[in-house]
Structure 1
Amino acid sequence: MSFNSNDDDSQQRFALGFLFALIALVVSTVVGVVVYKRGIAHAPAKPAIVKTVEVTTIGAGGNVIAEDAASVIVMDNGVVKFFFASGKAEVAAGANTALVEVIKGVVEGGKRASISGYHDATGDLVKNQELAKLRAMAVSDALKSLGVAEDKIELKKPEQSQASGSNAEARRVEVTLVQ
């Protein structure tokens, strides 16, 4: 009889231990989910635009381009030029500021933004053409993130994508307003 009593006690202890472990698992899972969700809600948003470089506004004919860094230049004729580091497709910080006039032209003026990507003469031509396309798409994504509708953005392959001038000047994307 004592043998059966020990068996029953052992089974009851096992069942209670299992139940407590299960309850602890459920409680810790709920607490973990709540902490995770609160952390996500308060986490800073991931920026759409990378690198920090100042926006420069210059008149036609002026050359203010860093040799191997991302930058943005707003020309006085309304063209916005994005310059890229060699082998990179990250848009320079300051793109939002530089694109203000383009956004106004699209939203208020009923125009479209035409985006053309160029590349330098160094390296493999096919890879450079693909990189020019990726850069143009990065600028397009910047416009979309600022609220410009996709149907108001036109990716246009220039007649000659290999631009003249220095390599730093050639690695660019130009944004212009068109009807």
Structure 2
Amino acid sequence: MEQEDDNQNLVLGILFGIIALVIGLVIGLTAYVTGQTNTAKPAAVEAVEAPEIAEIGEPLVKLYFDSGKAELPANAAEEVAKVVAKLAEEPAKIVLISGYHDETGGAAVNAEVAKARAVAVKDALVAAGIPADKVAMRKPAITLGGADAAEARRVEVRVQ
């Protein structure tokens, strides 16, 4: 009888140990997943993922890029100067940047290139003296620029 009680206690001890281990595992995984979703995102990603801002009017500036490239075009300084001047005239407004791409290459790569182009333009605007909090980046609703591939590889800048 005493040996039967010892076996029963051993089985119950193992069972409770397994239950405690499973509960600990669930709590640990929950804490790990929650910690990962609350980590800070890089500033460029936050800007792109910010709430959508509607485009108002025609773009003040359009910068055209080479295929697959995010380096600013040769006329970038002139175009950035136009934006700086316009914002100086209307300081209450913001600058809205949208990057586009053509159909060359894969969709994921194209989206990254369009984003990199927009970030390059934003960096140029900030370097020219526009406060970073006055520059918003918008993911275009249609990322393809149209039938003309050269027209598609652009970044549009609006002061609105």
Decide: shared fold, TM above 0.5. Answer: yes
Q: SS at the partner of 1:103?
A: helix
Deviations 1:87-110 (A, max 9, x none): 110001221212222112223312
Q: Which amino acid aligns with 2:109?
A: K
Deviations 1:39-62 (A, max 9, x none): xxxxxxxxxxxxxxxxxxxxxxxx
CA contact (8 A) 2:59 2:156 kept: no
Bigger strand fraction = 1
TM-score (norm 1): 0.54
Partner of 2:63: 82
Aligned partner (choices 129, 132, 151) of residue 114 of structure 2? 132
- The whole-number CA distance in structure 1 between the counterparts of 2:83 and 2:73 is 17
Of the two structures, which has the highest relative contact order with CA contacts closer than 8 Å and spacing of 6 or more?
Answer: 2
- The whole-number CA distance in structure 2 between the counterparts of 1:175 and 1:89 is 15
Matched, 1:172 2:160: no
Aligned partner (choices 73, 77, 81) of residue 92 of structure 1? 73
Deviations 1:5-32 (A, max 9, x none): xxxxxxxxxxxxxxxxxxxxxxxxxxxx
1:165 CA displacement? 2.3
Partner of 1:60: none
1:118 CA displacement? 0.4
Partner of 1:37: none
Partner of 1:108: 89
- The whole-number CA distance in structure 2 between the counterparts of 1:112 and 1:134 is 20
Q: Which amino acid aligns with 2:115?
A: K
- The whole-number CA distance in structure 2 between the counterparts of 1:107 and 1:153 is 13
Q: CA RMSD in A?
A: 1.3
1:78 CA displacement? 5.7
- The whole-number CA distance in structure 2 between the counterparts of 1:101 and 1:164 is 25
Bigger helix fraction = 2
Regions of 4+ moved over 3 Å: none
TM-score (norm 2): 0.60
1:138 CA displacement? 0.3
> Which of these two proteins has the greater Rg computed from alpha carbons?
1
- Using the aligned pairs only, state the percent identity: 44
Q: SS at the partner of 1:97?
A: helix
What is the number of equivalent residue pairs in this alignment?
102
Aligned partner (choices 128, 137, 159) of residue 146 of structure 1? 128
Q: Is there any run of 5+ residues in structure 2 with no aligned partner, and where?
A: 1-57
Aligned partner (choices 150, 157, 163) of residue 139 of structure 2? 157
